[in-house]
Chains A and B, each alone.
With several copies, the nearest count.
Chain A
């Protein structure tokens, strides 16, 4: 079944106000284009699970009720984003885990289980303030063991290097919490640098991170992770996050990247127009390494 659609449709048809949303691409290949579209559509009251993925825009626009997080800037003295959300009285609740805790909660969701055991977090004060982490008596003896409650996102969004029209998606490079997060999600949106022929997938099926039958929408979006790096494609872009430093810079950025354009492609075209035709060429990878093909067949 062909699931190719536009980012606009992928978001509007699958994500709704109040949803629990997983954003993949921790530190690598963030779904930037998708996040900007969510902001453009002002889908609000979201609870977001994201590990080091950029949630600044969602917070600054007051779209988050809650952020399930292991590491994020919460200090208003250091963040215009936080100050802005607070001024609107829309600062999200921050529910804190360790990074492994986030991974485990998603892993439980992926496994279809209500919780995962762990030895992390139980040594800290986190369980005092987060009722989704606690200690139990280990069922086969040996003392105490921690448990973390499952996350089952309503919607998961992952940006990948290649995907076929049916949604069989392949990502490589570091995977952060992509595997457990996307597999835990009920509805799945794949944004991909390139839609490839199914044969490309079928000749390397071990690389498929999520099978097509689990996927709701496929969006071809080149430079979809910009300005975050993506293995085999591009390195980090210039520091657009400076845009989050104060109101003026923020407003300019929002106009350029969200409200003043109809979609990500128009934003990309404007970046080129403004910064020169070679703007994106400069961040393309310069020293590609090609993998040795693996053989399958019969």
Chain B
């Protein structure tokens, strides 16, 4: 990343994917879901993390590079993988602690990193329904560090989620995850939005960097959070994308996705809206 100078003209979406991709390093074993998580994984493989292993829910484990698929499973993400099996195998790798990094989207997130991909309002009589956990709960339950990528609005960033689909640090008390039976040394580690990035300090979401390069201010960030968010002592500007990162993003992600045309397949056109995870 130091070999290329920073870009000056880029979107918040590009910042999100680039920031997410940078979370993948060295020999990381990374679970990626549909959308921005998949983009981050493919970008990292093409940039600074060629030795990382990408794991895709439907049974794909691959060390070799691959073109970004339209969703997660297609003939491109399957073909020439090092291993194909099924969801059970992949989730056992995770449950046994062998997937150190997970990427998720989310409908809502709260102060302690709990995510809601299920229902807005009461579960029995919801104001809005998302599609549900998919593999999201499993990833957040199992992975060493989970990185959540979502658009930031006040309605999505709540003191407490309406429904806890993917467990963060629960009520924030130390050791709560282990107490209820989740594996030790797991949980959300980073949140990346179109405005900022966050880490977790003592289980609480903590503002770490602001996308000032996209014109975002601290005030704007705080305005889109429902609680009085904790701010890191060393809060700083988000590191912008480099020109190299953007070039690779345009070539390997944007152009390839565009070449697929309108998405056919498993769900109606609107199904992937609202930053829904899988």
Contacts and interface: CB of A to CB of B under 8 A. Distances in A.
Q: Do chains A and B touch in the complex (CB under 8 A)?
A: yes
Interface of A: 1, 26-28, 51-54, 56, 69-75, 77-81, 94, 96-101, 103-104, 107, 109-113, 118-126, 128-129, 135, 138, 143-146, 166, 168, 172-180, 183-184, 198-199, 201-203, 205-206, 208, 211-214, 227-229, 231, 235-242, 244-245, 285, 289, 296-298
B182 A119 contact: yes
B87 A103 contact: yes
A26 B58 contact: yes
B60 A179 contact: no
Interface of B: 27, 29, 51, 53, 57-61, 63-64, 70-76, 78-88, 91-92, 94-98, 118, 123-124, 128-138, 140-142, 163-167, 170, 177-183, 262-271, 273, 278
A53 B92 CA distance: 22
A179 B86 contact: yes
B271 to A, nearest CB: 5
A229 B97 CA distance: 31
A26 B27 contact: no
Does more than half of chain B's interface fall in helix, strand or loop, or is it mixed? loop
Contacts of B72: 27
B278 A123 contact: no
A122 B53 CA distance: 28
Nearest to B141: A120
Contacts of A79: 268, 270-271
Nearest to B271: A73
Contacts, number: 279
A174 B264 contact: no
A174 B60 contact: yes
B137 A126 contact: yes
A198 B268 contact: no
B129 A235 contact: no
Greatest chain A CB density within 10 A among B27, B83, B167, B263 is at B83
B133 A96 contact: yes
A177 to B, nearest CB: 6
